[in-house]
Amino acid sequence: MEKDVISLINSTGYKAITGENKITLKAVGMDSPHCATVVEKALKNAKGVISVDTDAANQKVTAVYSAEISPANIKKIIKDAGYEPLDEESTDREKEVRQKEMKILRRKLIIGVILSVPIFIGSFPEWFSFVPEFLSNHYVLLVLTLPVQFWAGSQFYRGARIALKNKTADMNTLIAVGTSAAFLYSFFATLFPSAVTSQGMTVVYYDTAAIIITLILLGRYLEAIAKGRTSEAIKKLMKLQAKTAIVIRKGREMEIPIEEVVAGDIILVKPGGKIPVDGIVVEGYSAVDESMITGESMPAGKKKGDTVIGATINKSGLLKVRAMKVGKDTMLAGIIKIVEEAQGSKAPIQRLADKVSAYFVPAVILLALASFAAWMFLGMPFIFAFTILISVLIIACPCALGLATPTAIMIGTGKGAEHGILIKGGESLETAHKLTIIVFDKTGTLTKGEPEVTDVIRDALKYASAAEKGSEHPLGEAIVREAHKRKIKILKASSFHTIEGKGITAKLGSKTITVGSRSLMKDRKISHGYEKEMQRLENEGKTAVIVAVNKKAIGIIAIADTLKDSSKEAVEELKKMGKDVVMITGDNERTANAIAKQLGITRVLAEVLPGEKANEVKKLQKEGNVIAFVGDGINDAPALAQADVGIAIGAGTDIAIETGGIVLIKNDIRDVVGAIKLSKYTIRKIKQNLFWAFVYNAAGIPIAAGILYPFNGFLLNPIIAAAAMAFSSVSVVGNSLLMKRFRL
């Protein structure tokens, strides 16, 4: 029906465009880059799928699709690819599927061990004199091997089949080809022993096939246990969420699941209870423990009109809260989403591993065949060359290579989240340790962002407050607050006009009021005699504004924004790390230098208009620097985006937080130091993982190919190759897990 409509529209001379839809699913079992490639190729080959994005670390698949395919078909393709598709929110179902998979894997491992032991000892009666003769019979060994090869090892065949169907090859291909070669040769030798008899002996490799599969299953099982521990940060965050809420509907209190709370509901939060969602207090007074979100140890007082955050704990009084943000819109849900996306993102360093992995498996198969052919050409027995072929196939599995980066990023970003440092992507995580200059916005970042009037010279406050009434600028708000504090009646002005970065003008009856900087006064040709007082105040780190009425200066007002307690310590720590620190501000040079001097900052960019901050960052980048910009306001968004790493203060605006690559939830700029340390440590772990993964394959493949045999007669047994391959994957995950000990 839809195709007919599209054809009809096209026939009229217009172009019909079908709508695009987007679906995000969990693909349980898709836990490596190779698995993700299989799913990606399977979906891309389907008609109607426009684009696919896979996230192996969190086992997520996002597909953009047209009306030519349905979500049900997309799920079927993922299932046919060998993975269990689940809706994003199906956490209970996901847990159930994962537990079922672990149970099956454990059962296969146990059966594999039980059968592999008699197969092994039966294959070497010369080593084990106690072995009954019948156990050495090739038919008995065949019967014992069949369940291990085709039941316990079925997942490798299924994976290889799916990879082949999607015109690719992965680690399952290597395992399936290697063990099948050993099994089929042994099966042939059992049925036709005379055809393969060498020196009066018929050699079979049932032990090789069975033990390789069992060892790889052991590696996968240990890997699954270890991987379960890498996502603990997400689990901890999810545990913070309240499960139920007491809502007041139609005058009645009722306890409902958190999923049923809607924006606008009035929620009753009893002492000791969790605040279920983000909202505004409409009644009551209490102290709320917000430490899990803000890191502040002291409870925050909450009264009518104050905002509260979901998952924080009401310590004392009874509160009635109007739900403002529920479900995915809450701050905690936003934090979880950022962490999940970061854990699934790729650092630039991973691109090398991805490129290598894409060509690695086909290259290994060719290398194994080439090694086999070379040894046969050199006159070695078939059994010798065949052992080489299997060893190369088994030892070369690139599992460790695929796990090296994602596991470290998962734990690194999770560790950051535990300490209130949200790293939104692998790129920010990797770049942070390369930073050469940290540029801090002054107001609200280095300072508390709550300026106060400190000095009033002449009768300036009456007129300044009239002009600044309704102003959203921090300095204007401070002037109005001071007028209220001094019980000055604020006159009603009109015709407000803001001059960006310079000041404001307004009309009060027939009078024109101008409040602002020297620059504004110069532009308006207003002379003043307050230069000496202004210099004195500015040398004290205060911002002095001139107030003029009808082009005549009538006084000045000094305003100061005090430094945060953590600012000086953060700057000192950054300097110890060898980072240059720059302060950027719209303040005049004298005021800016006075504040910078208190912090020990020697490089100051003063009198920078909001729109020019990004350009200043660009200039520093052109000098060859790697720049972090730290800010909190809407006007900081362009600079945050321009910087190599944008670091947004968590107490800032949504736009700043959205733009920043790193978000500091606790509003403590010492966490800039923590983010850099965490980045450096995580990248070191990734490099260690990649080094050992590459070294393992670089050393393991030549040894398996028999490079040492001409010198010392050493030939790598395929079973040892399988054990080494399994150990390499577990060791990479284990090395990443050591990051949990890291102290920020």
Q: Can you spell out the DSSP letters for 388-450?
A: HHHHHHHHT-THHHHHHHHHHHHHHHHHHHHTTEEE--HHHHHHGGG--EEEEEIIIIIB-S-
Q: Mean pLDDT for the chain?
A: 80
- Residue whose C-alpha is closest to residue 333's, from 684, 559, 89, 694: 89
pLDDT in tens, 226-265: 555 545 555 666 677 788 888 988 888 898 888 888 888 8
Please tell me which residue, 469 or 712, carries the higher pLDDT value.
469
Rg (CA), the chain: 34
* Second-level CATH architecture of 419-447+563-677: 3-Layer(aba) Sandwich (3.40)
- Residue whose C-alpha is closest to residue 670's, from 561, 541, 577, 542: 577
**CA dist., res. 599 & res. 666, Å (int):** 21
- The answer to whether the CB of 510 falls within 8 A of the CB of 549 is no
Which of the residue ranges 5-9, 29-33, 89-93, 659-663 would you say has the lowest mean pLDDT? 89-93
Which of the residue ranges 72-81, 199-208, 224-233, 276-285 would you say has the lowest mean pLDDT? 224-233
- The answer to whether the CB of 557 falls within 8 A of the CB of 464 is yes
pLDDT of residue 635: 65
Catalytic sites, residue numbers:
441
Q: Give whole-number Cα distances, 123 to 9, 152, 207, in Å.
A: 73, 20, 7
- The answer to whether the CB of 405 falls within 8 A of the CB of 714 is no
Rounded to the nearest 5°, which phi and psi values hold at 23?
Answer: -135, 135
Please, which pLDDT band fits residue 90 given cuts at 50, 70 and 90? very low
- The answer to whether the CB of 308 falls within 8 A of the CB of 322 is no
pLDDT of residue 5: 58
552-560 and 452-457 strand pairing:
antiparallel
User: What is the CATH number assigned to the segment(s) 20-88?
Assistant: 3.30.70.100
Q: Give whole-number Cα distances, 627 to 438, 439, 622, 642, 660, in Å.
A: 6, 7, 10, 9, 13
State the average pLDDT over residues 506-522: 91
pLDDT > 70: what percent of the chain? 82
Tell me whether domains 419-447+563-677 and 452-560 share a fold.
no
Rounded to the nearest 5°, which phi and psi values hold at 662?
Answer: -130, 135
Task: Identify the three-state secondary structure at position 139.
Answer: helix
Please tell me which residue, 415 or 100, carries the higher pLDDT value.
415
CATH topology of domain 239-331: 2.70.150
Q: What is the pTM of this model?
A: 0.60
Domain borders along the chain are 20-88, 239-331, 419-447+563-677, 452-560
Q: Give whole-number Cα distances, 268 to 253, 291, 314, in Å.
A: 8, 21, 11
Task: Please report, for the chain, how many H helices and E strands are present, in that order.
Answer: 27, 26
Task: State both tokens at 716.
Answer: 């790598």
Angle at 626 between CA 652 and CA 694, to 5 degrees: 110
Please, which pLDDT band fits residue 430 given cuts at 50, 70 and 90? confident
Please report, as a single letter, which amino acid is at residue 28: V
pLDDT of residue 472: 73
The DSSP code for 563 is B
Please tell me which residue, 569 or 452, carries the higher pLDDT value.
569
pLDDT of residue 353 exceeding 60: no
Q: What DSSP assignment string belongs to 173-216?
A: HHHHHHHHHHHHHHHHHHH-GGGS-BTTB----HHHHHHHHHHH
pLDDT in tens, 150-186: 999 888 888 778 777 767 666 677 678 778 877 887 8
pLDDT of residue 7: 61
pLDDT of residue 294: 54
Please, which pLDDT band fits residue 620 given cuts at 50, 70 and 90? very high
Outline where 322-349 has alpha helix (H): 331-344
Whether domain 452-560 has CATH 3.40.630.30: no
State the average pLDDT over residues 284-304: 73
Please report, as a single letter, which amino acid is at residue 662: I
Q: What DSSP assignment string belongs to 545-560?
A: EEEEETTEEEEEEEEE
Task: State both tokens at 499.
Answer: 């001059």
**CA dist., res. 41 & res. 148, Å (int):** 30
pLDDT of residue 583: 94
pLDDT of residue 653: 46
Which of the residue ranges 72-76, 130-134, 378-382 would you say has the lowest mean pLDDT? 130-134
Please tell me which residue, 441 or 100, carries the higher pLDDT value.
441
